[in-house]
Copies of this chain bind each other. A is one copy, B any other.
Amino acid sequence: MKTVTAGILVIGDEVLSGRTQDANTQVLAKALGAVGVQLRESRAIADDAPTIIAAVREMRDRFDYVFTSGGIGPTHDDITAEAVGAAFDAHTGIRDDARALLDAHYGDRINEGRLRMARIPDGASLIDNPISIAPGFRIENVFVMAGVPKIFAAMLDGVVGTLEGGDTVGEVSIPSPRAEGELSAPLAEVDARHPAVSIGSYPRMRPEGGFAVTVVARSADREALAAAEADLRQMLAGLA
């Protein structure tokens, strides 16, 4: 089994102030999962250079890939590009290839602010932005992308094919009308019988009151997953 891991840094005060809810983690998790990359951490942090630099350094050592979202726009509070550059001790300045994209797109509407979006660390390669043109970039194992969800998703579309994934993890979801507390003993027994499968349970509130549960089994080993699923279904049917 080959395990390839990733983390995401969600950069920007808007998630931490409660203004918005981060949507990029979920999109990334699903896209990475499909190509055999397991998302292991999602960390939302503020637009603060020392915080960004420390988090990038820590996560790029711990994970095979790191993604960032946010902070690469045209305004003074967009400091992600320089901060990621600094995390790699790389100089960040306006680069000709990125500038050419912006010049072609904006024509005479180009200005100093928009040129900020051509700031790319030395040694980085550009990530295509089919929606608003201003590129993201990849430097070593870190992918720096836009925060606006549609642009993040579009950049990701162009990037996932370039990743070297490992084994994909299969997932089986089985809803049950039982309360989670009635399942705990039999669920633990099934779990113990299938060491290659990760089995979890997620309670949910019913609209009409009370709780139901969804049992989720995950494994990169499809044979083991199928065996666990059969065992789980039998256990749940025996309770009903």
Residues of A within 8 A of B (CB): 10, 12-23, 25-30, 33, 38-47, 73-77, 106, 109, 111-114, 116-117, 132, 148, 150, 169, 171, 173, 180-185, 187-188, 191, 198-205, 211, 216, 218
Contact = CB atoms under 8 A, between A and B. Distances in A.
8 contacts: A18-B26, A18-B29, A19-B202, A20-B26, A40-B45, A73-B181, A73-B203, A113-B180
B16 A39 contact: yes
Contact of A187 (B13, B14, B76): B76
A43 B44 CA distance: 6
Interface of A is mostly: mixed
A106 B182 CA distance: 11
The 6 closest A-B pairs by CB, nearest first: A113-B184, A18-B29, A18-B30, A76-B188, A42-B44, A114-B181
Contacts of A13: 198, 200, 216, 218
B33 A116 contact: no
Contacts of A182: 111, 113
A59 B28 CA distance: 25
B16 A75 contact: no
A66 B218 CA distance: 30
A20 B29 CA distance: 10
Contact of A185 (B113, B117, B183, B188): B113
Contacts of A109: 181
Contacts of A187: 75-76
A75 B213 CA distance: 11
A187 B112 CA distance: 12
A183 B75 contact: yes
Contacts of A173: 19
Contacts of A132: 211
B44 A181 contact: no
A41 B12 CA distance: 10
A75 B21 contact: no
Nearest to A42: B44
A173 B13 CA distance: 13
A44 B46 contact: no
